[in-house]
Structure 1
Amino acid sequence: MVGRKVQRNVWMAIGFVLLLLIGVFYVLSNNQVKSEREKEIELNTANHNFEKVLAYENDYMGNASNMGNLFNNIPLSSYKDNIELDSDAFTFIINYDTTSDEEAEKAVIYNATAAFVLVKNLEVINMRFLNNSYVVTRENVEEWFGGDLKELIDPSMFKEKVQKPLLKSEINDWLASYTN
């Protein structure tokens, strides 16, 4: 009789532990899905928080880790394939595993502006998509904004002069100016 009671208690404890483990796995998987969904929502031109990438500000573009991490935390990061750096020509090449569309073109403008604001000696970005390629120069971006990009390091200025206009207007002229 005592043996049955012990055996019953052991099975109840095992059942309790199993229920607890199932609950923990359920909560963790839901948190991961929620976190991925939140990151996806945040990593588009409409919702991106420029302040979160200020950590990647650097005087030099030759740091592949810094450049890769910057582009992991701005729009289109989920489509980022491989990157190349040409430190002699101050050129950054990024390949995307997706086709270019209007949203991607907005991200090209957003990402190029962010990269030129944050990485001081970067001169050229070549963003390659499966169906198109965009070569953006610092000179063209500075010309679009009427000079130096220093003021755009302030997240509120970046939002006002880059993010909001991207959401409100046609981007054809903007993109053409960036890539001429």
Structure 2
Amino acid sequence: MKNIKNIWIVSLFIIGLIGLVVVEGFINPKIAADEVRYEAEQDDPLTHDFTAVAQYQNAYMGNFSNLSHLNQNLPLHERLDGYELFPETFTAQIHYSLNTDEMDSVQLDRILVYNALANFVLIDNLEQIVYQFKDTRIVLGRELAQQWVGTELKSLQNVEIWDDVVRQRLVEPAKAQEAFSQMVDQS
């Protein structure tokens, strides 16, 4: 009887040890690798998870907390350096701690178009977004974004439509640069 009890204890110990090795040696590293991959994807407009920012949809650009959380979950978030809101012109100014020449120009164009559209689509009364870099200031306008998209911005809250209308049109470098030049407000 005592022998059977000892066999059960040893068996359970071995099963627990094997379980620990599987969890710590295989499952946890895979989960960690998946998280690292997902985070890296969030830095690129072509792989960014738009559903992750949909929760920041808001009628008013004056909701500072919402606007900041939205932009902290968009590409280039790691270089954010503050915000300013100008409610009289429905403008948000987003500061970045880098010079524009520190990035590939096509990738920067993609990011700015993607981020501006995400802001316009998710914040109903935002009319302009100003990206303030150390070396330059870039202004993108809602009306110009609407013209480039060719459909109601609100419809882009649907992820499939977003992917078709925005993400797919930013894949080709020439199309990304064209989108950027069409959305920049020259006034």
| Superposition TM-score tier, normalisation by shorter sequence | 0.7 to 0.9
Aligned to 1:16: none
1:146 aligns with 2:150: yes
CA distance in 2, matches of 1:52, 1:70: 9
CA distance in 1, matches of 2:113, 2:145: 9
Q: How far is the alpha carbon of 1:41 from its aligned partner?
A: 2.6
1:177 aligns with 2:187: no
Q: How far is the alpha carbon of 1:139 from its aligned partner?
A: 0.7
Q: Which runs of 5 or more residues in structure 2 are unaligned?
A: 1-23
Q: How far is the alpha carbon of 1:31 from its aligned partner?
A: 7.2
Structure-2 change in CA distance of 1:29 and 1:117 (3 Å): same
Deviations 1:123-163 (A, max 9, x none): 00001122332100101111112242121110111111111
- Aligned-pair identity (%): 29
Give the partner amino acid of 2:170.
L
Structure-2 change in CA distance of 1:30 and 1:115 (3 Å): same
Aligned to 2:98: 98
Aligned to 1:5: none
Deviations 1:88-130 (A, max 9, x none): 2110000111222321221000000111000000000001122
Q: How does the TM-score come out when normalised to structure 1?
A: 0.77
Q: Retained in 2: the 8 A contact 1:43–1:75?
A: yes
Q: Retained in 2: the 8 A contact 1:117–1:149?
A: yes
CA distance in 1, matches of 2:133, 2:34: 28
Q: Retained in 2: the 8 A contact 1:123–1:139?
A: yes
CA distance in 1, matches of 2:121, 2:107: 21
Aligned residue pairs, count: 156
Q: How does the TM-score come out when normalised to structure 2?
A: 0.75
Give the partner amino acid of 2:179.
W
Equivalences for residues 1-180 of structure 1 within 5 A: 35-36=35-36, 38-100=38-100, 101-170=105-174, 171-179=176-184, 180=186
Structure-2 change in CA distance of 1:30 and 1:128 (3 Å): farther
Give the partner amino acid of 1:90.
F
Q: Retained in 2: the 8 A contact 1:43–1:73?
A: no
State the superposition RMSD in angstroms. 2.3
